[in-house]
Amino acid sequence: MAKQYEIKAKWLPYFLVLPQMIIVFIFFFWPSAQAILQSFYLQDPFGGKTIFVGLSNYIALFTNPDSDYLYSFIISIVFALSITLLSMTVSLFLAVQAHKKIHFTTFYKTMLTWPYAVATLVAGVIWLFMFNPNVGVIAWILKHNFGIPWDYLLNFQHAFILLTLAASWKQLAYNFVFFMAGLQSVPETLVEAAIIDGASPIRRFWQIIFGLLAPTTFYLLVMNLVFGFFETFPIVHGITAGGPGKSTSILVYKVWRDGVVNLDLGGSSAQSVILMILVIGLTVLQFRFIERRITY
Amino acid sequence: MKKLLLLVLILAMTIGVYAQVSVEFWHAMTGKNGEMVQSVCDKFNASQKDYKVVPVYKGSYSDTMNAGIAAFRAKQAPAIIQVYEVGTATMMAAKGAIKPVYQLMAENNAKFDPKVYIPTITSYYSTSDGKMLSMPFNSSTAVMYYNKDAFHKAGLNPDKPPVTWPEFFDAARKLKASGMEGGFTTNWISWIQLENFSAWHNVPFGTKSNGFDGLDTELVFNSPLHVRHFENLYKLAKEGVFIYGGRENKANPLFISQRVGLHFESIGGYGSMKANCKFNFGVARLPYYPDVPGAPQNSIIGGASLWVFNGKSPAEYKAVTAFFTYISQPEIQAYWHQNTGYLPITNAAYELTKKQGYYKDNPGLEVAIGQLLNKPPTKNSMGIRFGNFNIIREIEDQVWEDILADKISVKDGLDRMVREGNAKLREFERLYK
């Protein structure tokens, strides 16, 4: 057991956490309080005139048939799940392949890791240039060689597939690195023992490797959902801008659009308060129920 | 003695530097246009010693406006800010935040005659009784671009572009039949096919003189004429003659890469068309429906104007006044107009450019001015002024895409645009009444 020291000065611990508390206060509590406050008002962007409107900013989100807020909720969830599923399965597959004793593994690993260095918005633009129906090379090939009338500007399915591909590609490298590290920490002796017992490669993978990867998988699951839900803003902004119609207007994009571009500060604040409640709920859920069942 | 002289000299220089009043000018111009903003400011700064205008690029139009709003709230606002036309109503309503240009000019005893400006341009930024609130800066209008080579190939006369919509649709079908992928496309669905369309046909886009006469205005662009036009666009989209190219100005590549032969775009895009099109193209007026009485009327402008923030010092306001007076001169206006493709804001600048023979090589620019000056503006064609207009345009973009994707019918779609837009107008009215 390590020796325990008693701190004599009572103020010292408070003093030591003070910088952190100040940062949390300035960058989290204060803006959050502002958002909560603003969500009850109709406000002139210049701060000249404000009218208290009670809960009507919230009510409008859920009752106005034209607001499509619930749709935005559903599409955000579906989007986050699709990215997580696609990106994690592909990266796990690639990690397992790259982990095998083959030539040029370092080369493959490097190539599979570098997309992580690409900024999310840039990733969006790369995909945009390939798939844009007006200027994109792949869009042209799809149309002229395969007869697929590719047009994500008007076709929701196309738009959704493109966004999911771009976001998953962006997240692939991150998952790959973690799965790689996870695979390297799987004891070789266990795998060898399984081979001696006559377990097939598939069985070895599912019953031993995949099981031992569980902490990594769980961690990545959370990170990917968070990425899909909150950090895909630049991809949506760069590729579809929420279109066609409002069909890919995910929650984080809508908050930004309504607040920053359209200057509807009250409505945008109400949306961000809802997002905040959602994040708090997810965090509680994670710590309370899920985290306990997985041993790291 | 020498030392003393040096001291006096240094002192004089310091005073000289300190006496110069410097004001910031936040703008959203990039590329060639950004260089021109810098150049006009440099010319102003070199023309006199008392004032200095410092242009600062702040990102896109909405970024610039937001930066201005944030700076005003933090009491760090620049003296001059460029705001796009859809932000006009918001700026006007923010009474404590801005200093109206007519007031600025009067307080500083500047020679200022609103009549020297082109009425269709100034009316956009004036109160309904003619008081100019902001300084028109970069103004454009919507025109039709057509591919002359493709016209020739399709058996159409390259020197006689279509004048009416029926002729236009005919020409578009022929272009497709001649082997092009489609016939036509358009940028800015709201600005060109609804706002300019309404003004050009002298029909209201909204009540109360398109919002000029009060905040209790309502959108009315779901009239039979508008429905008819959108039905036509929709029908041609289904025939593959109209190709949708995206929001804002994203349809340009379709025209530039010759996948369509007809296109609607701002005259502000003339320079980039000239640089990118590897074929002969022409600029023509917007088409109209010949059975509509009074059509064609005049088109309306887009672009941006310069607003002056409140709460600056008298010396700073003097600097702004000097700058505005300077940029209104015919020579500077003509220089700006010829180098950017934006319209001149005074008649004198137009006449000067004409005299210099500039339109002989660039007939497209004169087409735009002619269209704007076609007739004296009516209450349907002075311009448009609606609060929350950025959101309203976005709603129009969204619903238009839903119409093309067959999620909603044309008539229901236009009704929905009007209904959703009116709800946003009521919010605005409630806040500023």
Give the end of a domain, one of B372, B390, B422.
Answer: B372
Query: For chain A, what is the mean pLDDT?
Result: 88
- If you average pLDDT over residues B77-91, what whole number do you get? 93
Question: Rounded to the nearest 5°, which phi and psi values hold at A68?
Answer: 60, 25
pLDDT above 90: residue A48 = no
Bond into B363 cis (ω within 30): no
**What pLDDT band is residue B55 in, cutting at 50, 70 and 90?**
very high
pLDDT above 70: residue B332 = yes
CATH number at residue B148: 3.40.190.10
Which pLDDT belongs to residue A294? 60
| A chain contacts of residue B254, beta-carbon cutoff 8 Å | 134
Which three-class secondary structure state does DSSP give residue A27? Answer: helix
B184 and B331 assigned to the same domain: no
Q: What is the nearest CA distance from A244 to chain B, expressed in angstroms?
A: 6
- Of residues A154 and A67, more confidence is placed in A154
- Residue A25 belongs to a domain: no
Which pLDDT belongs to residue B39? 95
B152 and B274 assigned to the same domain: yes
Question: Rounded to the nearest 5°, which phi and psi values hold at A183?
Answer: -65, -35
Q: Do B398 and A47 touch (CB under 8 A)?
A: no
| A chain contacts of residue B423, beta-carbon cutoff 8 Å | 64, 66
B28 and B158 assigned to the same domain: no
Which three-class secondary structure state does DSSP give residue B284? Answer: strand
pLDDT per position as a tens digit, A155-195 = 999 999 999 999 999 999 999 999 999 998 888 888 889 88
Give the one of B66, B407, B420 whose C-beta lies nearest to A245's C-beta: B407
B346 and B392 assigned to the same domain: no
| B chain contacts of residue A263, beta-carbon cutoff 8 Å | 66, 69, 90, 388, 390
| A chain contacts of residue B90, beta-carbon cutoff 8 Å | 45, 263
Per cent of chain B over pLDDT 70 is: 96
- Residue B171 belongs to a domain: yes
pLDDT per position as a tens digit, A185-242 = 888 888 889 889 888 888 888 888 898 898 889 889 988 998 998 899 999 998 998 8
- If you average pLDDT over residues B387-407, what whole number do you get? 93
B277 and B294 assigned to the same domain: yes
Q: What is the nearest CA distance from B57 to chain A, expressed in angstroms?
A: 18
Which pLDDT belongs to residue B413? 97
pLDDT above 60: residue B12 = no
- Residue B1 belongs to a domain: no
pLDDT above 80: residue B6 = no
pLDDT above 80: residue B394 = yes
- Residue A33 belongs to a domain: no
Q: Do B390 and A245 touch (CB under 8 A)?
A: no
Separation of alpha carbons B123 and B133, rounded Å: 10
- The count of structural domains within chain A is 1
Which pLDDT belongs to residue B408? 95
- Residue A37 belongs to a domain: no
Give the per-residue SS3 of A247-284: CCCCHHHHHHHHHHHCCCHHHHHHHHHHHHHHHHHHHH
Which three-class secondary structure state does DSSP give residue B266? Answer: strand
B147 and B279 assigned to the same domain: yes
- Residue B98 belongs to a domain: yes
- Residue A27 belongs to a domain: no
CA angle A157-A246-B207, nearest 5°?
A: 145
Which three-class secondary structure state does DSSP give residue B66? Answer: helix
B47 and B77 assigned to the same domain: yes
**What pLDDT band is residue B68 in, cutting at 50, 70 and 90?**
very high
B211 and B147 assigned to the same domain: yes
Give the one of A42, A244, A261 whose C-beta lies nearest to B405's C-beta: A244
Give the end of a domain, one of B356, B372, B388.
Answer: B372
Q: Nearest to residue B85, comparing CAs of B267, B302, B248?
A: B302
- Residue B5 belongs to a domain: no
Number of continuous H segments (helices) and E segments (strands) in chain A: 16, 2
pLDDT above 90: residue A279 = no
- The count of structural domains within chain B is 2
Q: What is the nearest CA distance from B18 to chain A, expressed in angstroms?
A: 32
Give the one of B73, B253, B431 whose C-beta lies nearest to A134's C-beta: B253
Separation of alpha carbons B77 and B73, rounded Å: 8
- Residue B342 belongs to a domain: yes
Which pLDDT belongs to residue B1? 56
Q: Do A261 and B416 touch (CB under 8 A)?
A: no
Beta bridge partners of A106: none
For chain A, the straight-line distance linking the first and the last C-alpha, in angstroms and rounded, comes to 22
**What pLDDT band is residue B129 in, cutting at 50, 70 and 90?**
confident
B222 and B178 assigned to the same domain: yes
pLDDT per position as a tens digit, B251-302 = 999 999 999 999 999 998 888 898 899 999 999 999 999 999 988 999 999 9
| A chain contacts of residue B404, beta-carbon cutoff 8 Å | 154, 244
pLDDT per position as a tens digit, A78-122 = 999 999 999 999 999 999 988 887 788 788 888 888 888 888 888
Which pLDDT belongs to residue A106? 83
CATH number at residue A224: 1.10.3720.10
pLDDT above 60: residue B11 = no
Look up the domain containing B384 and give its range.
141-300+377-432
Q: Do A136 and A130 touch, CB atoms closer than 8 A?
A: yes
- Residue A31 belongs to a domain: no
Look up the domain containing A181 and give its range.
66-293
B55 and B135 assigned to the same domain: yes
pLDDT above 90: residue B115 = no
> Tokens in use for A21?
């508390």
pLDDT above 80: residue B333 = yes
- Residue B314 belongs to a domain: yes
- Residue B89 belongs to a domain: yes
Separation of alpha carbons A94 and A110, rounded Å: 12
pLDDT above 70: residue A58 = yes
- Residue A186 belongs to a domain: yes
Q: Nearest to residue B191, comparing CAs of B253, B233, B230, B142?
A: B142
Which pLDDT belongs to residue A166? 93
- Residue A26 belongs to a domain: no
Name the DSSP letter for residue B164: B
B191 and B275 assigned to the same domain: yes
Return the H-helix or E-strand segment holding A121. helix A120-131
Which three-class secondary structure state does DSSP give residue B366? Answer: helix
Name the DSSP letter for residue B123: G
pLDDT above 60: residue B15 = no
pLDDT above 70: residue A1 = no
Q: Do A155 and B390 touch (CB under 8 A)?
A: no
Which pLDDT belongs to residue B220? 97
Q: What is the nearest CA distance from A156 to chain B, expressed in angstroms?
A: 9
- If you average pLDDT over residues B181-198, what whole number do you get? 96
Give me the total of CB pairs closer than 8 Å, taking one residue from chain A and one from chain B.
89
B93 and B45 assigned to the same domain: yes
Which pLDDT belongs to residue B354? 92
Residues A209-247: b if buried by 16+ CB within 10 A, e if exposed: beebbeebbbebebbbbebbbbebbbbbbbbbbbbbbbb
Separation of alpha carbons B34 and B17, rounded Å: 27
Q: Nearest to residue B86, comparing CAs of B426, B384, B420, B396?
A: B384
- Residue A40 belongs to a domain: no
Give the end of a domain, one of B339, B372, B405.
Answer: B372
* Location of structure tokens 């799987």: A186
